[in-house]
Amino acid sequence: MTFSTNADAEARARPPAQHPADVPLAPRYAALGGAYHVTVAPTPLPSPTLVHFNAGLADELGLSATQASDLTDILSGNASWPNYAPLASVYAGHQFGNWNPQLGDGRALMIAEIRRPDGTRAELQLKGAGPTPFSRGADGRAVLRSSIREYLCSEAMHALGVPTTRCLSLVTSPQPVFRETVEPAAIVCRVAPSFVRFGHFEWFYSRGQHDALAPLADHVIETHFPHLVGLPDRHAAWLGEVIERTARLIAHWQTVGFCHGVMNTDNFSALGLTLDYGPFGFMDAFRQHHVCNQSDFEGRYAYGAQPEIGQWNCSRLLQATLPLLGETEEEVGARATELYGRYSETFSVTVMRRWADKLGLREIRPGDADLVIRLLTLMQRGKSDFTRSFRHLARVQTDTDGPAIGVREEMADLAAFDAWVADYRSRLRAEGNTNDAERAERMNRVNPKYILRNHLAQMAIERAEEGDFSEVERLMTVLARPFDAQPEFEGYAAEPPPDQRRIEVSCSS
């Protein structure tokens, strides 16, 4: 939602823009002032090559896809958006549970705040555009490897219906960047309604600059939660919505098998978006304790730990915004406690509804949680593919008591799975859910056939590093329709080959 003004109506009435100079600016974050950000010019990227331009997103932003080549200078940091000074914001955060008092946009620059043709607002950010005052001695660059992963995954998540930042473009350069090895540089243009993070509030709270909290919170509220504007308890109401959005987000992660990998508070969005794709991964074989980040030695951000970490991060946001919750210690404590409790309530309801949808259940009844847990236990025992197993469940027929052909092939303990299928069929029949074709259609709308598996991303990376960007384009096509059968791309729904099942991803980028 956005705050409706006459300017919004005028923007909606205008025809789609064709060039950045024609796109109306909406510099609300920049207007907050120097306490929140610094102006920084991007470092030019030599000999930039446009790897991919997201034509669909460009249309939504009011940019013409035919202008992609003309935009390359801006998207590579070699030119500025007309009439906008790029800026880097400051924030802090808890990284792997440890407090870091100053982080900030060390390699990201906001290059524009614009109004879309539909009147909504978007911020554009270049990731990998060179050092800023918050780089802490680093080069401020990103590499092609991680940039391809972020570009593909943000759009894959969007197609899955998961709230997320998005990507407009991916540019590379022969400029060498030194990580574990020498890699080509790259810049992603990320797009979001806002890039404000939990860590922004932690920064000001930790420094005792409590008078800076309300202006930042009000900026977020006025721009993205307009229904709360003017309410005397607007800050508490906003925090409640952020906490609930975060709980719903992580419930969505859990039920598509997505692991974030770096769930630091500086990587959590004040709008409940998936933010900062670093060492992420979709699970292949299901493991409750799957860890996608090889740098996460203790498994803090394992798949099964994500719900708890989400609530812990919300507690850090509440701590940082205590000065906004009331006048007395008793009032503040009562509100914070109530808000904290909303996370678990929202997560429990949302995740159970999503599991039920994945099983094709219309209602949620006692015993359904046990049905889900038993299935996940069987999948873990047999190292069954998470995505394929749920997708194939749509083939279960209720008019027979025989083996679930086409489904049980994913399982190792066939006797235990057959017993589970018998209970599953009984559960479906109990609610009159016996129209198998209709149920299969519903299940296939929530259980994807295609996800961004690590081996698919790696194939695109290796070809791109050789100058062949066709696999990036192909994956963008496949992942844009994750729930649809695409016979021409059937191989992309397969399990990874045995030698590609242990691809590891680190924090280096």
Answer yes or no: is 276 a known binding residue: yes
Tokens of 193: 């309604």
CA dist., res. 185 & res. 173, Å (int): 5
**Residues in contact with 462: Cβ distance below 8 Å, sequence separation at least 6, in sequence order:** none
Residue type for 42, please?
P
DSSP designation for 52: E
CA dist., res. 155 & res. 479, Å (int): 8
Answer yes or no: is 12 a known binding residue: no
Answer yes or no: is 97 a known binding residue: no
Answer yes or no: is 140 a known binding residue: yes
DSSP designation for 129: S
At residue 263, φ and ψ (nearest 5 deg) are -85, 50
CA dist., res. 468 & res. 51, Å (int): 9
**Residues in contact with 479: Cβ distance below 8 Å, sequence separation at least 6, in sequence order:** 152, 155, 156, 159, 450, 451, 452
**Residues identified as active-site:** 266
At residue 152, φ and ψ (nearest 5 deg) are -70, -45
**Residues in contact with 352: Cβ distance below 8 Å, sequence separation at least 6, in sequence order:** 364, 368, 369, 372
DSSP structure string for 408-455:
GGG-S-HHHHHHHHHHHHHHHHHTT---HHHHHHHHHTTS-S----HH
Helix (H, G, I), strand (E, B) or coil at 88: strand
Answer yes or no: is 127 a known binding residue: yes
Query: For the purposes of burial, counting CB atoms within 10 Å of the CB of 106, is it exposed (0-12), middle (13-18) or buried (19 or more)?
Result: middle
Question: In three state form, how does the secondary structure of 443-488 look?
Answer: HHCCCCCCCCCHHHHHHHHHHHHCCCCHHHHHHHHHHCCCCCCCHH
Answer yes or no: is 383 a known binding residue: no
Answer yes or no: is 98 a known binding residue: no
CA dist., res. 239 & res. 320, Å (int): 11
Answer yes or no: is 445 a known binding residue: no
Helix segments in 286-328, DSSP class H: 306-320
Q: Which residues pair with 127 in a beta bridge?
A: 108, 188
Binding-site annotation, residues for ATP: 104, 106-107, 127, 139-140, 190, 197, 276
Annotated binding site: 104, 106-107, 127, 139-140, 190, 197, 267, 276
Binding-site annotation, residues for Mg(2+) = 267, 276
